[in-house]
A and B are shown apart, each in its own frame.
Chain A
């Protein structure tokens, strides 16, 4: 065989092995640019990479950022119509970001790796929106919003777009026909779902008037959500999917019992709450079928600068009747924040360590609207409970979030 063509013709398995040994995404891109053969044998998104990304929304002209981030590991992505000042990221999963456009309430999904994008139904289609209104007495547009108890309040559209959504989670990449997105929305922290090509978001009805959900995940064909009081709720995704598929679109009201409700196991031990402290809860599905609940305790300083104090981790093994407290994640790491809360297996990766919690801020309500703010992001080592803060002195207009390809 001609000596010249040998590397060019490298077997896909060996090429794959080479990529397994690359730690920088840039080098992966380089491999794909070297020759057509390698380009065709390597997917544009390195699915096998276990390294999580921290998405830092900013502009390349932002000189303060450039100074701090002058390392090879930073990969710049250009999105021509992504305005840093007009977007907030409220979800991330499977390599996709879910953003809300502040000026018009559009909800978009963006993939920084493939540069594709698609739209979800806008905020104006959320179940609690009565209507948008514009009149002489108010500056700009405002929105009439209905609460679960029937009362109506008004709020200016810009603020509404910023604060209506707590988090959006997707079940899979959007090319999957079972794709579903669930959002925690509104004053009362309710859940709403939509499928691809839906025109509106559909509410998941609850008996509780204001459940105040704080996290939701798709796990093993179910939807699990944890509320303010650390109660775990379970919903059947298939049932919801089927109902959403019916025409005309029914309200999900009669299905409350069949959709799901509070999970059998009672919440983990009542956590002491005290003044000026908030707790943010996250729920994560594990590979062995169990669920983790992470409770993040935040202390607020006067300037809305919250500092993370500690974490509690609870585990609910499959089919178990109660939560148990655990102090080690063993070989796994978890990533929480605006991203879909996930468990990761870092293996030998130098960028993701086992038994660590990787967290970003997901309480945009605490920040002064329109102004850049400091973010509470860090990496907690569960073994010695020491935290490494991430970029603690940088202010962000749009908070960073984890992104897993």
Chain B
């Protein structure tokens, strides 16, 4: 999709009888997001996954959520015309999910708490591998609210569970204790096993 210049946006909006209210008007369509802010043309940035796949996402969205990306934009190390941000430690599947999260939260931040929480719960309905990837990505990109969400989920995966169950959930096949150590643990904390 090509960049629309400000004038074109304005005519387009007029044609559809959508008036800019206040500073911004956002239409919630996944294919294109229009920002009728006086002066700023639509700004997108390119994120590149470890599998060399390019994702185009609105700058506003990523800047709002990711401290790393915000810093890159602010200190000018990102050039809109040419560059893409390489994220070598995030694969495409995870990157898409992260972008999904940020986008949803930017556009739906006025939704009521229950709906947001329901969406978050659905979002994190992944297996332990997927969760691990998300944790790594959110940590790398420093997305605070996604991290809190993930840690909250991890907490629930541990809370009140038996040790063997926790090992199964986190896919830890070999616990690494010697037989003596494991026996000692079981003796000292029998109610956890």
Contact = CB atoms under 8 A, between A and B. Distances in A.
Chain B's interface: helix, strand, loop or mixed, by majority?
A: helix
A18 B155 contact: yes
Contacts of A33: 163, 185, 189, 192
A8 B192 contact: no
B171 A7 contact: yes
B155 A36 contact: no
Contacts of B152: 21
Interface residues of B, number: 30
B132 interface: yes
Interface string B4-16: 0000000000000
A302 interface: no
Interface string A19-30: 011101011011
A3 B166 CA distance: 16
A27 B155 contact: yes
B139 A36 contact: no
B122 interface: no
Nearest to B153: A21
Interface in B121-141: 128-129, 132, 135, 139
A211 to B, nearest CB: 46
Nearest to A17: B151
B189 A29 contact: yes
Nearest to B128: A7
Contacts of B185: 33
A4 B135 contact: no
Contacts of A34: 163, 166-167, 170, 172, 175
Contact of A36 (B135, B159, B161, B176): B176
A4 B155 contact: no
B160 A6 contact: no
B172 A27 contact: no
A4 B132 CA distance: 11
Interface in A1-60: 3-4, 6-8, 14, 17-18, 20-22, 24, 26-27, 29-31, 33-37, 39
B158 A37 contact: no
Contacts of A31: 158
B151 A35 contact: no
Contact of A7 (B139, B161, B170, B189): B170
A72 interface: yes
A72 B189 CA distance: 15
B163 to A, nearest CB: 5
Contact of A6 (B132, B167, B175, B177): B132
Given A30-B166, A33-B163, A35-B177, A4 B192 contact: no
B173 interface: yes
B128 A27 contact: no
A22 B151 CA distance: 9
Given A27-B159, A31-B158, A4 B175 contact: no
Contacts of B72: none
A17 B160 CA distance: 19
A351 to B, nearest CB: 15
A26 B174 CA distance: 22
A36 B151 contact: no
Contacts of B18: none
B172 A8 contact: yes
A24 B167 CA distance: 19
A30 B164 CA distance: 10
Contact of A18 (B151, B167, B175): B151
A48 to B, nearest CB: 14
Interface of A: 3-4, 6-8, 14, 17-18, 20-22, 24, 26-27, 29-31, 33-37, 39, 72
16 contacts: A4-B173, A6-B129, A6-B171, A7-B172, A18-B155, A22-B158, A26-B160, A27-B160, A33-B163, A33-B189, A33-B192, A34-B163, A34-B167, A35-B176, A36-B176, A36-B181
Interface of B: 128-129, 132, 135, 139, 147-148, 151-152, 154-155, 158-161, 163, 166-167, 170-177, 181, 185, 189, 192
Q: State the 7 A-B residue pairs at the shortest beta-carbon distance, nearest first.
A: A36-B176, A7-B170, A21-B151, A35-B175, A21-B155, A6-B132, A8-B172
Given A6-B171, A21-B152, A35-B172, 12 more contacts: A4-B171, A7-B170, A14-B139, A18-B158, A22-B155, A27-B155, A27-B159, A30-B161, A34-B167, A34-B170, A34-B175, A35-B167
